[in-house]
C-alpha cells in the first residue's frame, strides 16, 4: 500500500473521529482544531494549514517525520514506522489503481479517491480479533536502581495463552511510551525518565488486561526541562541551591550551567513526590503563592500547577487573559480546554505574584485566585490518594509558599521557604 494513501486515509479517519464527515465543508478553524487535537495527543504542534494540505493530499514528498509521528501517536502508536508497518501488514496488498490509456485525469482522481476511502474503511473499520483468556496473563516488575532517575525497570510478563492480534506494555499514561511485545518472550527492560507515580499497563489489542503501580518517589524537589515535542527525553537540572530570598526557584544562570539551551521552547518542571501517600485526593486543600519569570520571549506565558494522583491528575494551567484559549483545567474526568470553554476566570498575569487555592471536598473541586472563587466542578473518578505536586511553565516558576493538607489535618507538604 502506497504510503501517501496511508497518510490520507489516516487524516480522513482523524477528521471523522472529530465529527467532520465532509472535507469540502471544513473551515480553517476546523483544520486548526484538528491540529490542536494532534498536539494534545502527541505534543507535536501542527498548523491548521498543514492539516488542510494533508487532508487534500497536496504533498508530493512525504511530510516531516514529526508530522508523521503525530499522526501515529493519535492512533496510540509510538512512531510512524510502527504505525505504517502495522497498516501494511494488516491492509490490502494490491497496488493503488493507476491511470491507463486516455482516461481523463478527473476519472483517475475519482478512482484514486475511491481507493483512499476503501483503504480508510479497511484499515480502521475491520474489527480486530476479540481478546480471549485475558485472565491467564501475568504481569510484574522490579526496579534495578532503587529510586534513581533515570530508572531501569524490568517487566516480567506471560501472554502465551492470551488470544489477541497484538500486545504492548505501556509504562504510564503516555501512549508514546508503549512498546510492542510478543508471545514466547517474557521480559521487557524499560526506562523511566521521570519520577512519580506511574500505572504500567499490559495491553492486548486496545484493552488493558493487567495494571501495576510503579512508584518512583523523590522525597525532595526534582528539576528538569523538556522540549515541547513528542518522544522527549528530559534534561535534568542539578542546582546547588534552589531557595533564594525566601522563594523556591531556579535562575537562567543555573540553566546555562547545566547546559540547557535557553533559546529553545521548553517546559520547566519542579516536582515533588513523597514516599508516603496517605491523603485522599477527594478531600484536601492546596494553597500556594507563585509567579513565573520568562526565560525567553513568549507570546503566551503560562503557569501550570499539577497535583499528581495515584489515578489521574488535577491540573490548573493559567495564562494571561489575552491567551485564555491556552488555559486548561482538569479534575479527574472533568477536562476543560480554553479552546472550547470560557476559562477567562482562571486567567491572570502569571508574571505577577498570585495566591492560588485548590479545595476538594467529597470530589467537589473549587479554585480560588487571590481569595476569589473563580471555578468549581464535580468529578466522579476514583483518583485515590495524592502522589505528588508540581509546578510547570514555559518560564521559571518562583514559589513563595506551598501547603498541601488533607481535610483531616494530615500534612503532605508545607513550606514557606
Each residue's pLDDT tens digit, 330-350: 999 998 988 889 999 999 999
On average, the pLDDT of the chain sits at 87
201-221 mean pLDDT = 93
pLDDT at 86: 84
Residue 31 has pLDDT above 90, yes or no: no
Q: Please, what are the domains in the chain? A: 3-125 (no CATH), 134-216 (2.60.40), 221-415 (2.60.120.200)
Q: For residue 232, what pLDDT band results from cuts at 50, 70 and 90? A: low
For residue 377, how far is the Cα from the chain centroid?
22
pLDDT higher at 136 or 111: 136
pLDDT at 92: 44
Residue 235 has pLDDT above 60, yes or no: yes
Q: For residue 90, what pLDDT band results from cuts at 50, 70 and 90? A: low
- Residue 351 corresponds to which cell in the numbers above? 508574571
Q: Is the dihedral of CA 334, 339, 341, 345 positive or negative?
A: positive
Each residue's pLDDT tens digit, 149-201: 999 999 999 999 999 989 999 999 877 678 899 999 999 999 999 999 999 99
- Residue 151 corresponds to which cell in the numbers above? 530508572
Q: 223: which strand partners? A: 237, 270
Residue 1 has pLDDT above 70, yes or no: no
CB 212 within 8 A of CB 141: yes
Residue 169: count of CB within 10 angstroms of its CB? 21
pLDDT at 274: 94
Each residue's pLDDT tens digit, 269-314: 999 999 989 999 999 999 999 999 999 999 999 999 999 999 989 9
pLDDT at 290: 98
pLDDT at 231: 47
112-136 mean pLDDT = 65
Residue 95 has pLDDT above 50, yes or no: no
Predicted TM-score of the model (pTM): 0.71
Q: How many whole angstroms separate alpha carbon 408 and alpha carbon 211?
A: 30
pLDDT at 212: 96
Each residue's pLDDT tens digit, 364-414: 999 999 999 999 999 999 999 999 999 999 999 999 999 999 999 999 999
Each residue's pLDDT tens digit, 6-19: 888 899 999 988 87
CB 344 within 8 A of CB 322: no
Q: For residue 114, what pLDDT band results from cuts at 50, 70 and 90? A: low
pLDDT higher at 27 or 10: 10
Residue 351: count of CB within 10 angstroms of its CB? 15
Amino acid at each position: 500500500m502506497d504510503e501517501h494513501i496511508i497518510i490520507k486515509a489516516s487524516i480522513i479517519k482523524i477528521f471523522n473521529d472529530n465529527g467532520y464527515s465532509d472535507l469540502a465543508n471544513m473551515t480553517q478553524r476546523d483544520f486548526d482544531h484538528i491540529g490542536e487535537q494532534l498536539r494534545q495527543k502527541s505534543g507535536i504542534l501542527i498548523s491548521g494549514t498543514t492539516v488542510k494540505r494533508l487532508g487534500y493530499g497536496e504533498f508530493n514528498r512525504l511530510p516531516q517525520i514529526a508530522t508523521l509521528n503525530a499522526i501515529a501517536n493519535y492512533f496510540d502508536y509510538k512512531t510512524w514506522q510502527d504505525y505504517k508497518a502495522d497498516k501494511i501488514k494488516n491492509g490490502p496488498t494490491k497496488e493503488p489503481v493507476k491511470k491507463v490509456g486516455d482516461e481523463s485525469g478527473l476519472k483517475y482522481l475519482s478512482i484514486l479517491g475511491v481507493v483512499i476511502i476503501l483503504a480508510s474503511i479497511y484499515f480502521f473499520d475491520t474489527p480486530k480479533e476479540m481478546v480471549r483468556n485475558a485472565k491467564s496473563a501475568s504481569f510484574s516488575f522490579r526496579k534495578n536502581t532503587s529510586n534513581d532517575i533515570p530508572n531501569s525497570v524490568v517487566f516480567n510478563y506471560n501472554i502465551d495463552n492470551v488470544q489477541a492480534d497484538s500486545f504492548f506494555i505501556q509504562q504510564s499514561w503516555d501512549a508514546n511510551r508503549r512498546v510492542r511485545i510478543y508471545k514466547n518472550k517474557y521480559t521487557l527492560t524499560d526506562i523511566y525518565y521521570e519520577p512519580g507515580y506511574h500505572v504500567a499497563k499490559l495491553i492486548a489489542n486496545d484493552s488493558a488486561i493487567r495494571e501495576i503501580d510503579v512508584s518512583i518517589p523523590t522525597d525532595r524537589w526534582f528539576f528538569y526541562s523538556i522540549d515541547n515535542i513528542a518522544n522527549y527525553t528530559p534534561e535534568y537540572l542539578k542546582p546547588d541551591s534552589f531557595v533564594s530570598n525566601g522563594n523556591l526557584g531556579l535562575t537562567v544562570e543555573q540553566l546555562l550551567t547545566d547546559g540547557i539551551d535557553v533559546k529553545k521552547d521548553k517546559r520547566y518542571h519542579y516536582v515533588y513526590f513523597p514516599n508516603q501517600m496517605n491523603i485522599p485526593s477527594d478531600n484536601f486543600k492546596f494553597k500556594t503563592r507563585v509567579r513565573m519569570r520568562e526565560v525567553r520571549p513568549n507570546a503566551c506565558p503560562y503557569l501550570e500547577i499539577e497535583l499528581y494522583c495515584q489515578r489521574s491528575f488535577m491540573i490548573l494551567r493559567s495564562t494571561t487573559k489575552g491567551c485564555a484559549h491556552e488555559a486548561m483545567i482538569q479534575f479527574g474526568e472533568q477536562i476543560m480546554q480554553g479552546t472550547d470553554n470560557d476559562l477567562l476566570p482562571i486567567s491572570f498575569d502569571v508574571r505577577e505574584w498570585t495566591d492560588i487555592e485548590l479545595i476538594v471536598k467529597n470530589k467537589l473541586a473549587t479554585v480560588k485566585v487571590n481569595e476569589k472563587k473563580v471555578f468549581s466542578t464535580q468529578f466522579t473518578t476514583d483518583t485515590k490518594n495524592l502522589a505528588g505536586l508540581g509546578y510547570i511553565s514555559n518560564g521559571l516558576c518562583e514559589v513563595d509558599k506551598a501547603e498541601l493538607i488533607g481535610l483531616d489535618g494530615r500534612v503532605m507538604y508545607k513550606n514557606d521557604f
